[in-house]
Amino acid sequence: MGFKCQVWVCTFCLVMLLFLQETRAGIHSSNASRLNGRKKVSGCNLFRGRWVVDASYPLYDSSGCPFIDDEFNCQKHGRRDNQYLKYSWQPDSCKIPRFNGADLLRRWRGKKIMFVGDSLSLNMWESLSCMIHAAVPKAKTTFSRRDSLSSVTFDSYGVTLYMYRTPYLVDIVRENVGKVLNLNSIEAGNAWKGMDILIFNSWHWWVHTGRSQGWDYIRDGSALYKNMDRLTAFSKGLTTWSRWVDQNIDPSKTRVFFQGISPTHYQGKDWNQPQRSCSGEAVPLSGSTYPAGAPPAAAVVNKVLSSMKKPVYLLDITTLSQLRKDAHPSTYSHGSGTDCSHWCLPGLPDTWNQLLYAALIM
């Protein structure tokens, strides 16, 4: 009896060990496939491909869109070359549907869509508003612009596009020491509830220093810091955002997207032209890879998204945008200096929205 018992116990332990190994592998595979699912539609990676000349672009004229800020309106501020407007994105493994604003309005009838983030979210929100407006130019719209919350409503369809400005996603609060970036707090999230589609974005402001820095101190729990490694701070803040999504979003009612990291082109060494910046650039880089590789912030986004319980679709626009050194406002905007961070409208953000459209309908 003792020997039989020992054999039975050993067999049981071996079975359980194999079961646990398969379970761990399944979990790992599930996490990996969930992340890949956020980048692919119907087996097609929409974000791996190349830029091709397309005479049918742009999708609208800046002079005909009432929603474009001067900082993105390059044609208005003197940019005379227009070849940068004549490119479309072609994925390697499929064709994406051409954007159809009227179709999108019908699909979104009665829906509320909100962009949440910084000025790159603003770039994308204005782009989508212009693309839809160009499809139904005679449709009545209601336009509201405020500091933190702006909106465009296409009245006949009951579709509202919101823009909620919050550069870090987590809160900046006033304390005795000054403005504090609280890595563990999202009080602003109450304004994001009840939406049918949410498109989040953050990173651009995390790297700002000096006078352009948006805070005086960083709070992480009970600890207060004068500074912190910016990637570490971004990871902590984005993890807080991921918990908010997991706790507050019902996937049957709200679809969530993350816009991905939008690159800058201030340093030509990133594309093997050390003396250059975006200023004067007129054509994209050829091919489908960027010499400098992906920015470290993109790895942070991938890591946080892969650990989430609720589905978030990653609009992985980083590499395709890195290839577009020609598409920034540069000196052709309302502001002073050279802007190699934001994007001209019409321009690259129109492609981001075309890929959003493809992700929704394919």
Q: Is residue 33 part of a domain?
A: no
How many residues in the chain?
362
Q: Are 50 and 122 in contact (CB under 8 A)?
A: no
Q: Are 339 and 318 in contact (CB under 8 A)?
A: no
What's the rounded Cα separation, in Å, for the pair 109 and 118? 26
Nearest to 344 by CA among 290, 276, 265, 257: 265
What's the rounded Cα separation, in Å, for the pair 280 and 329? 10
What's the rounded Cα separation, in Å, for the pair 339 and 264? 9
152 strand-pairing partners = 143, 161
- CA distances for 164 relative to 65, 149, 160, 330, angstroms: 20, 5, 13, 25
Q: Is residue 44 part of a domain?
A: no
Query: How many Å is the Cα radius of gyration of the chain?
Result: 23
Nearest to 103 by CA among 138, 129, 132, 67: 132
Parent domain of 324: 49-361
Q: Is residue 32 part of a domain?
A: no
Q: What is the pLDDT of residue 39?
A: 56
Hey, how many other C-beta atoms are within 10 angstroms of the C-beta on 137?
A: 11
Q: Is residue 127 part of a domain?
A: yes
Print the SS3 string covering 257-317.
EECCCCCCCCCHHHHCCCCCCCCCCCCCCCCCCCCCCCCHHHHHHHHHHHCCCCCCEECCC
Catalytic amino acids? 119, 339, 342
Q: Is residue 352 part of a domain?
A: yes
Q: Is residue 145 part of a domain?
A: yes
Task: Please count the structural domains in the chain.
Answer: 1
What's the rounded Cα separation, in Å, for the pair 347 and 68? 12
Q: Is residue 19 part of a domain?
A: no
Could you tell me how far CA 157 lies from the centroid of its own chain?
Answer: 26
Q: What is the pLDDT of residue 143?
A: 96
What's the rounded Cα separation, in Å, for the pair 280 and 330? 8
The three-class DSSP label of residue 327 is coil
Q: What is the pLDDT of residue 38?
A: 52
Q: Is residue 351 part of a domain?
A: yes
Tens digits of residue pLDDT in 11-66: 444 444 444 444 443 433 334 334 434 556 667 899 999 999 999 999 999 999 99
Q: How many CA atoms lie within 13 A of 146 on its CB side?
A: 8
CA angle 117, 186, 174 (to 5 degrees): 95
DSSP 8-state class, residue 99? P
* Residue ranges in the chain modelled with pLDDT below 70: 1-42
